[in-house]
A and B are shown apart, each in its own frame.
Chain A
Amino acid sequence: MPHVERLPLIERKSVQILLGLLGLLLALVVWDLAVRTEFVNPIDVSPPADVAEELIALLGTSALWSDILETLKGAAIGLLVAAAIGIPLGTLMGLIPAVNAALRPTVEFLRPVPGITLIPLAILIWGQSITTVWFLVAVGCVWTLVIQSFYAGQAMDEVTLDTARTLRLTRRRFIWSVVLPGTMPYLVTGLRIALTIALIAAISVELLIGVPGLGSAIVEAQNAGRLPEMYALIVISGLLGILIQVVFSAIEKHVLRWHESQRPGSGQ
C-alpha cells in the first residue's frame, strides 16, 4: 500500500470550509438572539433577517449599482493619480541611491501623516465634489506605492542592469524591456494593497462629506431611519472589498504567471 500522509481532520480544506461556514452561521444566530432578547435595543440594531431581505432588495435597485460605480470610479481615479506620482518616484529612489538619499528624509517625514487631516482643506478648495475624493484617495495610497516601488527598484538584479548597460540599450528600451518586467511583481503587489486602501478611503470620504457613492448612501439611510438598509449597505461595502481582493489576486496570478514567485515550490 502506498504511503499516503494523512492530514489530521482539522487541517483538511473541506473541514475548514465547513467550520468557517458554521462560524458565520453562529454569528448570525448570536446577532439574531441579541436583538430578540433585547440585549441590544431592537430600534438600534436590525435583526439579520431584515438586513438580508433588504440586501437582496437593494441588489435589484439601480441606485445601489450606480453608488457602487461612483465609489469604484473615485477609488480608481485616486489610485491612478497616486500611481502616476508614487511609482516613478519610488522606482527612481530604489534604482538610484543618490535620489534615495536626497528624498528619503522628506518621504519618511510625510509618510506617517494621516491623509484624512487634509479633509477640511480639500473641502475649502474643491467643495463637496468628486475631486475632493480623488485627492484624498491619492494622498491615502501614494506612500504605499512609493515604498513598494522603492523595493521594486532595489530588487533589480545588478547583473541585469549591467548587461543592459553593456548592450547600450536606448532609454526607452531600457525602461520597457528591463525595468518594467524586473519591477513588475512588486508593483502589482503594491497596487493590490493600494487598491484596498483606495476603496476604503473613497467610501470614507463619501461618508464624511456626502459625495455620491456607497459611503453617502450609508449616511442617507441612517438619517432617514432606514436602519436595515444602512446595515445592508455596510455588509455590501465589506463584500465589495473582499470581491475586489479576490479579483485582483486572480489578475496578479495571471499577469505574473511567468514570474518565479508564482511557480509552485518557489522559495519566495
Chain B
Amino acid sequence: MNSETPILHRALAIGVTTAIVGLLWLYTSQSSSYLVVDMGEMLTRFREIWFFERFTSDFVPSIERLAMGYALAVVFGVAFGLGLGMLPAFRALLMPLVSFLRAIPPVAMLPPAIIILGIGNTMRVFIIAFICVWPIVLNTADGVAELDRTMLSTARAYGLSRWERLRLIVLPATMPRIFAGMRTSLTFALLLMIISELVAGTSGIGAFLISAQQRFQIPDMWAAIILLGLLGIVLNYLFTLMERRVIHWHIRSGGK
C-alpha cells in the first residue's frame, strides 16, 4: 500500500461528499417542479418550525412516545429473553410462538391496536413496545443459549448463587447480543413512531408531516422529512456511542 493512500482517500471522501451536496443544492435551486424546494429556503423553514414553532406541540410528544415504548421493550425484552435462555423447557415451549409473532409485519398490528386501545398515546406507546420487544427477546435468549457451558459450570463449582451467576456472568456475556437486538429494535421504534402518527395522528412529527402534505405545504413537508431523517441518524449515532461505552471490551461491537 502506498503511504499517500489514506490522504488521497480522505480527500476523495470530502471532495465527493461536498460535490454531492453541491449538486443537490444546485438542483433544488434550478428545478421548476413544485415538489422541489430550494435548499436555502427549506433550511430557513426547518429552523422556524423546529426552533421552536412546533417544538413542544409535535417534537416533544413524538420523542416521549418513542422513549417510553422503547424503554418498555428493552426492560421486558431483556427480562423475558434471559428467562427463555436460562430455562430450556420454557424456551422450547415459547420459541415457535415468538418466531411467529415476529414474522407478522409490524404495521399489520396497527389496526387491531387501534381497535383495542383506541387512538391515543397508550396505543402508540404499546405498539412501539410490542413490536420492539421481539428482536431483543430473541437475541437475548440466543445469547444466553450460546454461553460457554464450562464457564457456567465453573461458576457453579465456585459456589456462585443463581443471582450472582446472572449478574456476574450471564448478563455481561450476553450484552453484545442484547445490544444487537436493541439496535434492530431502535429502527423499528422510530418506524412505528412515525407510522402510528401518520395514521390518525393528532400530534407528533408524523402527524405534522401528513398534514403538511395534505395542505400542499411542500417546504413544511420537507422540514418534517429532514427532521425524521436526522432523528434516525442521531439516534443511531447515540446508540453506537452508548454501545462502545458499555461493551468496549467486545471485539465486534455493533456486529450481529
Contact = CB atoms under 8 A, between A and B. Distances in A.
Interface of A: 10-11, 15-16, 19-24, 26-27, 40-41, 44-45, 97-98, 101-106, 109, 112-114, 116-121, 123-125, 199-200, 203-204, 207-208, 215, 218-219, 222, 227, 230-231, 233-235, 237-239, 241-242, 245
Interface of B: 5, 8-10, 12-13, 15-17, 20, 35, 88-89, 92-97, 99-101, 103-112, 115-116, 187, 190-191, 194-195, 198-199, 209-210, 212-213, 221, 224-225, 228-229, 232-233, 235-236
A125 B221 CA distance: 13
A203 B110 CA distance: 12
B88 to A, nearest CB: 5
Contacts of A200: 105-107
Given A98-B9, A114-B190, A199-B105, A238 B88 contact: no
Given A45-B116, A118-B225, A208 B236 contact: no
Contact of A10 (B89, B103, B107): B89
Given A106-B17, A117-B225, A241-B103, A22 B93 contact: yes
| Overall SS of chain A's interface | helix
Contacts of B108: 203-204, 207, 215, 218, 233-234, 237-238
A102 B88 CA distance: 49
Given A102-B16, A117-B225, A242 B99 contact: yes
Contact of A106 (B20, B97, B191, B195): B20
B187 A114 contact: yes
A23 B94 CA distance: 5
Nearest to A140: B191
Given A116-B195, A238-B103, A20 B111 contact: no
A199 B105 CA distance: 8
